[in-house]
Amino acid sequence: MVRRAASHRLEFDAAAIYQYPEHLRQWLEGLPNQPGVYTFHGESENLPLYIGKSVNLRSRVMSHFRTPEEASMLRQARRVTWIPTAGDLGAQLLEAQMIKTQQPLFNKRLRKYRQLCSLQLGDGAPQVVYAKDLDFSCSPNLYGLFRSRFAALEKLKTIADEQRLCHGLLGLERLSPGRGCFRAALKRCAGACCGKESIEHHQQRLRDALEQMRVVCWPWQGPVGMLEVGAEMTQIHVIDHWFWLGSVATEAEARQLQRASSGFDHDGYKILCRPLLSGVFPLIEL
């Protein structure tokens, strides 16, 4: 059975190479069955056509001829290069950085979060705060990451509607002295604005609802190394305040990576938060 499956795969492989534009076939021969990041290059030395990642470079690159858009990209492609990584995490980190710095023609433009903001909750109404003013990697009581003030307030409204929180107390609506908010009359606010619920209880319900969106403060003093062990190689991903400094082979090299300039790294946070805190990857404090 095993041998049969393998021979089927070989046939598929051969068929896949055959369907590829002829001028690219020579580049496919050496593609490894290994995780990593691959690049389709066109005529230009500096502007790549497409950058992608996979846990299996060979099968992923081979599958790039399915849609008309991909066919168009392949026609313009002149060569394929790749960088192997230990696993999926290393591939994600490298891919995000390469797309950001090289801006390939066929990748969907990564949104630039110029107005990246969050909701900060103290004793009163949540305030919209901006990553350009506040270091999001180590500020407490931040909830959610949004690309605009509008998006942050929309999310707050949705939570208010789900939880019957008061738009007045949340700062979404102006309250008149001595009167409940507009939605209290419709029973869509539980009534913290008109004495039917204590302010403390309302604030606690708000905190509970926001909790799952909490932005996690960087929990270490300085950088840490995440050990990713793959079948073919092992990498130490060096991270500081959610910022990926690079991936190296040894602890000595890891200690030499310098802390990057500050500024909250939204991509790094998105990719790293869960894997870093999951305990799946052994950590080395550097």
Q: Provide the CB-side half-sphere exposure for 101 (13 A, CA).
A: 7
- CA 181 → CA 130, 178, 195, 221, 264, distances in Å? 28, 10, 11, 45, 37
Query: Minimum distance between the CB of residue 126 and Zn ion, rounded to whole angstroms?
Result: 15
Provide, rounded to whole angstroms, the least separation between the CB of residue 235 and Zn ion.
Answer: 53
Which residues are at the interface with Zn ion (CB under 5 A)? 166, 168, 181, 184, 189, 193
Question: Minimal distance in Å, beta carbon 127 to Zn ion?
Answer: 19
- Answer whether 17's CB lies under 8 Å from 59's CB: no
Single-letter residue type at 213:
M
Q: In what order do the strands lie in the sheet with 234-240?
A: 243-248, 234-240, 224-229, 283-285
The residue among 129 and 193 lying less far from Zn ion, judged by its C-beta, is 193
Please say which residue, 72 or 176, places its beta carbon nearer to Zn ion: 176
Cα–Cα distance for residue pair 84/86, rounded to 1 Å: 7
Q: How far is the CB of 39 from Zn ion (least distance, A)?
A: 55
Whether 244 contacts 264, CB under 8 Å = no
Nearest approach in angstroms of CB 124 to Zn ion is 15
CA angle, 190 then 195 then 122, to 5°:
75
